[in-house]
Amino acid sequence: MKRVLLLGGYGFIGAQIRLLFEQQSELLTVTAPRSAELNLVTASEVAWNRLLSDARPDVIVNATGRTSGTPRSLFDTNELLVSRLLTSLEGLNLSPWLVQLGSAAEYGVTATSRPVSEHDPCNPVNDYGVSKLAATQLIQEALSRGAARGVVLRVFNPVGAGQGENTLPGRAARLLREARVQGQPRVTFGSLASSRDYLDVRDVASAVLVAARLGNQSAGGPAAGRAPFPEAASPPVLNVGSGHARRSRELIRCLARLAGFTGEIGEESQGSPRSEVPWQQADVHRLRSLGWTPQFTLEDALQDLWNSLPPPPPVFSSAVRKAASGSTNQ
C-alpha cells in the first residue's frame, strides 16, 4: 500500500482529491492538518520535519495554493511553501514522488485558436501566475539535479462544488441566485468575452490520481525525476484541461438557466486582471496518452457547483421585518 501525503486537502481542489484517493484500496492517504492547525508557510523546520517523518510518504500531492491576495501572500503560499517542502525533503534525505498542482496562469497570453502545449513558453501576466511559475521552476530545478522526483500539473480552469467567490463561476452562482430570490431584473459582470478551458474539478482529481501513480513507473528508471512521458526529453509538466475553449459568457448563461434567472445579464468593459488573457485552451494529448479522460461536462460541473451552494437567506417583506423587530405601530 502506497502512503500519500496530501497537502491542502481541505481546499476546493484538495477536497476532491482527498475524496477520490480515500476510495483507492492501494493508497493510504494522510492529509496534512488544516492551515489553522499547522500553517505550512510559517511552520518551523522542526514542524515540517515531523510532518514528513510521521507521514513517511511514497507520494506527496501539493494542492495548497492561493489565487488572490497581496503579492506577498501569493508568493508565500504558492512559492515559499514549495521551497520549504523541498528543503525539508532534502534535509531528511527523502525522495517521494511529488505531484505539484500548477496553473494555466503560468502561460499568460497564448495564441488565439491554438491549444497551448507543455513546451510553449511561460509569460504570466499577474502575480498569481508569476508565483505559480516560480514554484514550478523550483520543482524543475530540484528534478534536474536529482534532488526530487515528480511532475507538475498545470490545471486550467476548474469548476465544481465548493468553489469560492474569488472565481468567476463561484461569484456568478451566488449573484444569480440572489438576483432570482430578490427579483432583481439585472446582474452585471465584468467583460465576459474571454474564452477559457473549463474543467470539472472531479476530473482534476482523477488527473492527480493518474499523476500520483506515475511514480511507480519511474522508480529506478533511467531518467530519474522524470515522469514516463511518451516523448523523449519531455519537461516534467502535464496540462490538465478539457481540451475545449468555452466563452465565459456561455458559462454565465448556463448558470442563469440553473438559477431560473430570466433577467438581463450585463457586462462592463473592464474585467478582472485575468481578462488580459483573451483565449486559452489546453493541449491535453500527453495526459490523455497516460490513460486519463475527462468524465464530466462543463454543464455537469456547473450543476455540481449550483447544488453545493448554501441555502439563500430568507427574504422578508417590510411588514414582516417590522414585526420581527417589534416596531409595528399599535
Task: Provide the pLDDT for residue 221.
Answer: 42
Task: Provide the pLDDT for residue 224.
Answer: 45
Contact 205, 161 (CB under 8 A): no
Prediction pTM value: 0.91
Contact 26, 2 (CB under 8 A): yes
Lowest mean pLDDT among 77-91, 126-140, 221-235, 248-262: 221-235
pLDDT tens per residue, range 54-82: 999 999 999 999 999 999 999 999 999 99
- The 3-class SS string of the chain reads CEEEEEECCCCHHHHHHHHHHCCCCCEEEEECCCCCCCCCCCCCHHHHHHHHHHHCCCEEEECCCCCCCCHHHHHHHHHHHHHHHHHHHHHCCCCCEEEEEEEHHHCECCCCCCCECCCCCCECCCHHHHHHHHHHHHHHHHHHCCCCEEEEEEECEEECCCCCCCCHHHHHHHHHHHHHHHCCCEEEECCCCCEECEEEHHHHHHHHHHHHHHHHHHCCCCCCCCCCCCCCCCCCEEEECCCCCEEHHHHHHHHHHHHCCCCEEEECCCCCHHHHCCECCECCHHHHHCCCCCCCCHHHHHHHHHHHCCCCCCCCCHHHHHHHHCCCCC
What distance lies between CA 259 and its chain's CA centroid? 24
CA distances from 96 to 14, 22, 59, 91, 141 (A): 19, 19, 5, 13, 16
Contact 309, 173 (CB under 8 A): yes
Give 289 or 312, the one with higher predicted confidence. 289
What distance lies between CA 231 and its chain's CA centroid? 26
Beta bridge partners of 266: 188
Say whether pLDDT at 315 is over 90.
no
Task: Sketch the domain layout of the chain as residue ranges.
Answer: 2-162+198-244+281-295
pLDDT tens per residue, range 262-277: 999 999 866 555 558 9
Burial of 244 (0-12, 13-18, 19+ CB in 10 A): middle
Question: Stretch 40-58: mean pLDDT, rounded?
Answer: 97
Q: What percent of the chain is modeled with pLDDT above 70?
A: 87
- Name 232's Cβ contacts closer than 8 Å, sequence gap at least 6: none
- The CATH code for residues 2-162+198-244+281-295 is 3.40.50.720
Question: Stretch 249-263: mean pLDDT, rounded?
Answer: 97
